[in-house]
Amino acid sequence: MANFEKPTTEAGIIAHAVCGAYLMVAFSDGKYALSEKVRMVHGLLAKDVPAGVAKADLEAALPAIEKAFAADYETAAKRVLELIASVSGNGIAKRAVIHAAQTAVVADNAIVAQEAGALDRISDALGLKKGAI
């Protein structure tokens, strides 16, 4: 079952939304490429931490969300989209989610239709037009 605990703090919710956005795009094509995992660990978690998001919160959120996407992509995506929608009114969180989603697209040096679809779903959850990310 694709499940991860619902975070209880604002920082935890933002971190889960950010990690979830990255992983939703990365897993959308049916595989989580090594380059995508490396980019997550060495990029987003190491040097590209979005403003307003604590690295420790991202690191804590990553394993459970990763397992959830590996187990059941659609169920995990729905939970992540709920978290993303819940932070859509927070400008810093919104920018962090967009940054994470964009980072995932470039991690494997290609964009496929499934990734574009995931970006559109994230855009919708943020209240943005299709194609905005």
Cα 15 to Cα 31, 62, 76, 110, 120: the distances in Å are 22, 9, 15, 25, 20
Q: Write down the mean pLDDT value for the chain.
A: 87
Task: Write the pLDDT tens digit of every residue in 9-68.
Answer: 888 999 999 999 999 999 998 888 777 787 777 777 766 677 777 888 888 898 999 999
Quote the CA–CA distance of 44 and 9 in Å, as a whole number: 21
Contact partners, residue 24, CB within 8 Å, separation at least 6: 69, 76, 77, 80, 81, 101, 104, 118, 121, 122
